[in-house]
Amino acid sequence: MWLNVLIIVFILLVLIVVIALIRALRFGQTPPAAESLEGIAVDSDQVAQHLSKIIQVESISMDNEPARQAKFEEVHTLLEKFYPRVHATLKRETINECSLLYTWEGTDPSLKPVAFLAHQDVVPADPATLNQWTYPPFSGEIADGFVWGRGALDMKNHLVGIFEAAENLLEAGFQPRRTIYLASGHDEEIGGQHGAVAAAALLAERGIELEAVLDEGGMILEGFLPGIPGKVALIGNEEKGHINVELSVQQSPGHSSTPPAHSAIGILAAAITRLENNPMPAQPRALLPMMSHMGRKLPFSYRLLFANLWLFGGILKSVLEKNSKTNASIRTTMAATMISGGIKPNVLPTVAQANVNCRILPGYNIDQTVAHIHRVIADERVTIKVNDGFCDEPSPVSPIEGGHFTEIAQTVRGLFGDVSTTPFLMLGGTDSRHYTGICPNVYRFAPVQLTADDLGRVHGIDERIAVSSLGDMVRFFAQIMQTWAK
């Protein structure tokens, strides 16, 4: 009898192995062939000069500060100077003093318009790091084949690339059938409430529904994930939600020589530690669309794991959790980003506070995230409050089969060659999330080739972009404008 049982078990194991191998061999899509595209002729050095000048304007996003408004007006003046055809042909509207909306009228009003987004604002450079920059962050230095400075990657390069493309197309006599909007916010880095929110609301008031939107997002990366060869173009088709949660503890003041068992800071620290040690559930399945589109270029080990989540889900989860990028792609993350408390070394703090920034995975929502925080902290001494001024649910998921996603992917392969193209979950926030109410096809992609190490320059030290990449950006935007506006 035992022999029969062993034989049955052996046969079952063989069947499981065979099924797993067959599923792995069949896993992934083969992308349709993309025609090689030459693209328009671009003077990359001139584009670099334009970007350099715009980087030199310290258009740091701040809430309604008059002095800062003048900086954005400087950006507007430079755009007028560098792109005369755009300003002679397109209708320009100013929204809340600093954001811009350009309308390039199409010849067929029955077609829904498309929109290209780029924000003018940048984050500041940390004063403590200024001596570590090769060139000052707002110098716009052109050296060693790069344009250096804050906004070179996020995202004055994108702004310049879109305007250069439009200027070139106008010079060539291009007339779109479909109306094109160029929308440029001034406060994306602090939530977009006065820029993108207002621009999208204005279009909605006019009864305008957009056919497609393209904003900043994923890039063309080499070394994106360990073991995956070649370059991968990450085309964002969804975006995490986000909230900021304030944790606060209030205790009686006193002298530090006679402390209680747990001070306000100690109670707060314990609450943060519990959150870090008890994250929200991981969902490896969230990466399936991205891995499937990379298809046959994936190493067989990846294909085996993702094709058989029913069998290897636990193993895959443990692997993905070890990498901060992949861990953030499969779960709602929570990071303590600011903390305060205390007024003097020998005085017990009355209040200790911390901010926890949460990035919410699609499939979850704000209420579930807040409930998790309450459940894990489980301490009545800790007050938990959501900061309503900066919160969004996860975005809707834009289609990835055919249509505008495929047009972006084929344009990438046509211009950049042997590049894998795949959908991508945006981990950070973009202005495009404010347009999902008037557009079902929202994509987030910046046509820039980077190594994974270069990503650390975004919001970091020595932000820069290769001059040659600027020409690539202009060619991409000109091509996709022509494709979408036919």
Beta carbons of 210 and 243 less than 8 angstroms apart? no
Pairing of strands 241-250, 351-360: antiparallel
Task: In whole angstroms, give the CA distance from residue 92 to residue 182.
Answer: 9
Q: What is the three-class DSSP state of 444?
A: strand
> How many angstroms separate the CA atoms of 242 and 244, rounded?
7
Query: Which listed residue (154, 164, 187, 188) is catalytic?
Result: 188
Q: What is the DSSP letter of 283?
A: -
Is 121 labeled as catalytic in the residue annotation?
yes
Q: How far apart are CA 134 and CA 10, in angstroms?
A: 63
First CA to last CA across the chain, in angstroms? Answer: 73
Under DSSP, the state recorded for 453 is G
Check: CB of residue 101 under 8 Å from CB of residue 198: no
Neighbouring residues of 244: CB distance < 8 A, sequence distance ≥ 6 = 355, 356, 357, 358, 386, 387, 390, 391
Q: What span, in angstroms and rounded, lies between the C-alpha atoms of 165 and 415?
A: 15
The C-alpha atoms of residue 176 and residue 485 are separated, in whole angstroms, by 5
Under DSSP, the state recorded for 54 is: H
Q: Is 45 a catalytic residue?
A: no
CB 308 within 8 Å of CB 322? no
Q: Which are the catalytic amino acids?
A: 121, 188
